[in-house]
Amino acid sequence: MDLMALGQRLQEFFQKSGIKHDLLGKIDEHGAAFFFDLTRPLTCGFLSCEDNAEDLRFSTVSLAISVGETATRSNEDLLALFALNGNFFDASLTVSHMPSGVMHLFVARKFKASDYRIADFAHHVSDLLRQYDLFTAKSS
């Protein structure tokens, strides 16, 4: 898989779609990472492609959608949320720093790069948020 070409296609997709985005680092043969802001739904996240040469040994695309800052949640709430991970289909909850340094909770999915279709971006964002809403509503 040509990750440089995939990274360029991802950037072109964001530009053509009018999605505000920032390239984190550079696009090269090892992949690319983007931070993006969405207005519908109002959220932000990361989209990256990486070679995984040292572990999985196949290229992946990762999509992570923020569901809020961790600082606004108690430790008990965070543990309860992470206990839901087994309920998600092809997704998981994770914590990561935003470019600003603030920790956020993300619902994320990883795809085999050869199977990822850029045209399905909006569908994948909707699916991740739908699953998060579904399982967090059940646990309330």
Q: Given the structure tokens 């990883």, which residue do they identify?
A: 110
Structural domains in the chain, CATH included, are 3-139 (3.30.1460.10)
- Statement: residue 20 has pLDDT above 60: yes
Categorize the per-residue pLDDT at 97 as very low, low, confident or very high, splitting at 50, 70 and 90: confident
- Statement: residue 140 has pLDDT above 60: no
Categorize the per-residue pLDDT at 139 as very low, low, confident or very high, splitting at 50, 70 and 90: low
At 79, which helix (H) or strand (E)?
helix 75-82
Structural tokens at position 92: 């998981």
- Statement: residue 70 has pLDDT above 70: yes
67/50 Cα distance (integer angstroms) = 23
126/55 Cα distance (integer angstroms) = 29
* pLDDT computed for residue 98 by the predictor: 84
